[in-house]
């Protein structure tokens, strides 16, 4: 079973593409996923037929693939910021997208600076009229 811990380990362990595309375990795709996923390969791209053609994951440049890893029920295609999990038994595809957490500096800017759209924070609309009866219904 692929858990969040396993996914984090894949990102950490395969953070960069190999020196050469020849180092990828592409044979694993043809052994386990070609029938269910319509895998096609040319000299520059990996095509996955089970992914919607309008998706950016249907055609992946080979030099962007960091690793191809086998698990019990899936094949993982590890990219820099995402992982495609191709089911071995069916044409199901699951995609994990790595969401980068904002840095401390970015969080401070978000907290102190107004939003670019000019939105006013809810706390900025506090009624400061000292004569208003707070127990009334506001009329």
CA dist., res. 106 & res. 128, Å (int)? 31
Residue 60 scores a pLDDT above 70: yes
61 part of a folded domain? yes
123 part of a folded domain? no
Q: 47 exposed, middle or buried (CB, 10 Å; 0-12, 13-18, 19+)?
A: middle
Residue 138 scores a pLDDT above 60: no
40 part of a folded domain? yes
Which of 93, 83, 77 lies closest to 37 in space, CA to CA?
A: 93
* Sheet-wide strand order for 39-41: 39-41, 45-48, 59-61
CA dist., res. 39 & res. 65, Å (int)? 15
* Domain around 30: 4-97
26 part of a folded domain? yes
- What's the residue count for the chain? 139
Give how many domains the chain has, as a whole number.
1
pLDDT in tens, 74-88: 999 999 999 999 999
Can you give the pTM of this predicted structure? 0.72
Q: Greatest CA span in the chain, whole angstroms?
A: 78
CA dist., res. 89 & res. 19, Å (int)? 31
Residue 135 scores a pLDDT above 80: no
Contact yes or no for 126/73 (Cβ under 8 A): no
132 part of a folded domain? no
Residue 50 scores a pLDDT above 80: yes
64 part of a folded domain? yes
Residue 130 is classified by DSSP as: T
Task: Read off the pLDDT band of 109 (50, 70, 90).
Answer: confident
Measure the N-to-C terminal CA separation of the chain; round to a whole number of Å.
59
């Amino acid at each position: 079973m692929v858990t969040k811990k396993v996914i984090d380990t894949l990102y950490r362990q395969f953070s960069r593409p190999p020196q050469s595309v020849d180092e990828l375990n592409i044979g694993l795709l043809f052994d386990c996923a070609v029938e269910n996923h319509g895998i096609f390969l040319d000299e520059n791209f990996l095509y996955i037929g089970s992914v919607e053609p309008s998706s950016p994951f249907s055609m992946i440049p080979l030099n962007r693939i960091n690793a191809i890893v086998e698990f019990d029920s899936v094949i993982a295609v590890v990219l820099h910021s995402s992982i495609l999990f191709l089911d071995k038994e069916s044409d199901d595809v699951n995609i994990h997208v790595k969401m980068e957490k904002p840095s401390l500096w970015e969080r401070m800017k978000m907290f102190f600076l107004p939003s670019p759209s000019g939105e006013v924070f809810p706390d900025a609309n506090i009624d400061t009229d000292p004569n208003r009866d707070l127990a009334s219904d506001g009329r």
